[in-house]
Structure formats: structure tokens, C-alpha cells
A and B are shown apart, each in its own frame.
Chain A
Amino acid sequence: DAKTTQPNSMESNEEEPVHLPCNHSTISGTDYIHWYRQLPSQGPEYVIHGLTSNVNNRMASLAIAEDRKSSTLILHRATLRDAAVYYCILRVTGTASKLTFGTGTRLQVTL
């Protein structure tokens, strides 16, 4: 399984944008980049995914480098409710859809 590298933790002020980086230098051509987050005492929650082009949804934006070796999850205005562990995951190809989690980035949001 291709691996991802993320910072262990990041801090942000409320109402400020947050850029969460992820390196995936061994990504294969057909691996999708997925982001999930896990709030305290809850199961992981899907955030966004993409292949090559930048993606936007109601929760966040995903910026993918041209060589696909890195990506950035962007929260446009962090709130206290965004405090969670964010996981960057490369989805393996084929019919199986398992997710290979790393240790993720713990995001702290302060007033």
C-alpha cells in the first residue's frame, strides 16, 4: 500500500483558514487521494477525495500537486467543531475499498 506522511499536529485560530499537508511520493497513477477526519469519541467521517484536479465541497477544498506527490486539505474558516484528527489516505485500486489509515494530523482550533 502506498504510504502518506502528515505532520503529527497543527494549531489554528478560529475563523482562520487551515492548510493540512500530506506527502504521498509513492502514489500510483490510479490511486485516489481521500481525506477523512475523526472527531473525539466518534468514528471517522469522509471529508473529500480527488484524483488529479482540485476539488471543492461544502466541507473543504482539496488541492493536488501537479505531480500528485503531495496534496493539501484546506478548511476555509476553521471552527471549534473542526478540531479532530485528519487522515490522508490513498485508496487502493481494484474492487476492494479498504482504507489504510496512518496516524493523521491532530488539528487544534483555539478562540
Chain B
Amino acid sequence: DAGVTQSPTHLIKTRGQQVTLRCSPKSGHDTVSWYQQALGQGPQFIFQYYEEEERQRGNFPDRFSGHQFPNYSSELNVNALLLGDSALYLCASNSEGLNTEAFFGQGTRLTVV
């Protein structure tokens, strides 16, 4: 079992550009969540996808959008990149249901210059 896989591992983008990050959940998992982790901070919840729909969203602007595919994989898109979007982006998956443990990927390190 490969666990949660994210791609790419590192990315450098210029201000104003758009970026797409990808996540494949752990086998058997149907729920995918995305988190942003700035340096020295804990991860902050961006949004969660279940059954190809955004089910819950954190306090992030509309520049952050996502998608979930029928195979449960997911993408995170960020438009009009700002320097402040530089962070580690983490994907987590779990099975639908209360209080099941979440499995995290290694993250994508995004640097905006």
C-alpha cells in the first residue's frame, strides 16, 4: 500500500501564476482534505472533498479551488499566486465516518517568487 501520494514534491512559481497540486489517497479511502502549512505553524484546513463534492471549507479565498475525481484522487488549484502562498501543502485521506484516523502525504513544497 503506497499510502497517500502527492505530486510534485517541490515547485517554484512566479507571482500571479496558477498552480495545480495532485493527491492520490490511501487505498480504500474516499475522503480527501487539503491543508496549508506555513513555516513554523501547524497545518491549516483548506477544504475537504467527498463524493466529488466540496463538503467543508476553511477560511481561504476563492483563489483556492479543488476537485475530486471518481477514483477519489484530488487536485488543489491556486490562482493568482501571492508570495504568502508559499507553504507546504498537505493532502490527507480517510474513510467516511466519524473519528477515523487521517493519513497524510509528504506534502508539496510550493515557493512563490
A interface residues (Cβ-Cβ under 8 A, vs B):
32, 34, 36, 41-46, 49, 85, 87, 91, 93-104
Known A-B contacts A43-B105, A44-B90; A97 and B43 likewise in contact (beta carbons under 8 Å): no
Residue interface mask B8-29, A partner, CB < 8 A = 1 = 0000000000000000000000
Minimum distance in angstroms from A46 CB to a CB of chain B: 4
Q: In the complex, how many residue pairs between chain A and chain B have their CB atoms under 8 Å apart?
A: 66
Report if A96-B42 is in contact (Cβ < 8 Å); known contacts: A43-B90, A43-B106: no
Q: State how many residues of chain B have any CB contact under 8 Å with chain A.
A: 28
Query: For chain B residues 44-100, which have a beta carbon within 8 Å of chain A?
Result: 44-45, 48, 55-56, 58, 90, 92, 94, 96-100
A102 to B35, CA, bound (A): 13
Q: Distance in Å from the Cβ of B6 to the closest Cβ of chain A?
A: 8
